Amino acid sequence: MHRPRLSKTSRRTLRALPLASAALLCMIPMAGTASAHGSVVDPASRNYGCWARWGSDFQNPDMATEDPMCWQAWQDNPNAMWNWNGLYRNNVGGNHQGQIPDGQLCSGGHTEGGRYNSLDAVGPWKTTSVNDNFTLVLQDQAQHGADYLRIYVSEQGYDPTTEPLGWDDLELVEETGSYGPATSYVAQVNTSGYSGRHVVYTIWQASHMDQVYYLCSDVDFG
């Protein structure tokens, strides 16, 4: 069967098609390839809480008066909320206090190029009401596992509405054992002597690599 001979221009066009198709594919986000990690969802971490309350209404000007700390966070960098599950540092080597300076605990030491810096802001963050004995739930979308969770509560007398958070402000109240890979990890936290507003600070040492999450949750012990 005789096939018509293509011109040089047509042959060049056909040869270019696979390259053009590959370039177009690179421009299309691939479903399921975005990295997912996790955060404390109860009591909600600062950026998870801002996303949960305002993610579907983040341009609402009422946020400025109803939830001013979330408002400043959204204005500073919306990706801190859209990526509420990505507040971590790699290769910490267990040296948490050496890697995270005072005043930068809630941003993981200005991790991820400063994306989460607004979480260090001092002010009246929305709180979750808790009792002396409460349950902490950490969501792990990627099922990294955990070598441990270290859970701190800010000491009585520390005021997160007027003072940046430092290591000396924290009291260790719970250190868990390891967790196998799962979508959530639950820790029972038993405390006494706390009242009013506090910060619950959670360190999640992931198991899949030396990757550590630093998570601030604002609570009210009543």
Query: For the chain, which residues make up each domain, given as ranges?
Result: 37-220
Residue 14 has pLDDT above 50, yes or no: no
Residue count of the chain, please give it: 222
- How far apart are the C-alpha atoms of 156 and 161, rounded to whole Å? 14
What is residue 35's predicted lDDT score, i.e. its pLDDT?
Answer: 55
Secondary structure letter of residue 44 according to DSSP: B
- pLDDT value for 80: 97
d(CA 117, CA 124): 16
Whether residue 9 is predicted with pLDDT greater than 50 in this model: the reply is no
Q: Does residue 43 have a cis peptide bond before it, meaning omega lies within 30 degrees of 0? A: yes
Mean pLDDT, residues 194-220 taken together: 97
Higher-scoring residue by pLDDT: 17, 47: 47
Predicted confidence (pLDDT) at residue 160 exceeds the cutoff of 70 = yes
Tell me how far CA of residue 33 lies from CA of 29, 53, 119, 146, 214, in angstroms: 8, 26, 27, 22, 24
Paired tokens of 59: 């341009």
Superfamily of domain 37-220: chitin-binding protein cbp21 (2.70.50.50)
pLDDT value at residue 17:
39
What rounded mean pLDDT belongs to the chain?
A: 88
pLDDT band with cut points at 50, 70 and 90 for residue 221: very high
Q: Report yes or no: 130 and 219 within 8 Å, Cβ to Cβ.
A: yes
**Model confidence band, residue 24 (pLDDT cutoffs 50, 70, 90):** very low
> For residue 47, is pLDDT > 90?
yes
Residue 79 phi, psi dihedral angles, 5° rounding:
-65, -15
pLDDT (mean) for 135-141: 97
Q: Which helix (H) or strand (E) holds 16?
A: helix 8-27
Q: CA-CA distances (angstroms) from residue 200 to 52, 59, 121, 183?
A: 18, 28, 16, 21
Q: What is the pLDDT of residue 20?
A: 37
Q: How far is CA 15 from the centre of its chain?
A: 46
Assess whether pLDDT exceeds 80 at residue 18: no
Most distant CA pair in the chain, distance: 92
Residue 121 near residue 69, CB atoms below 8 Å: yes
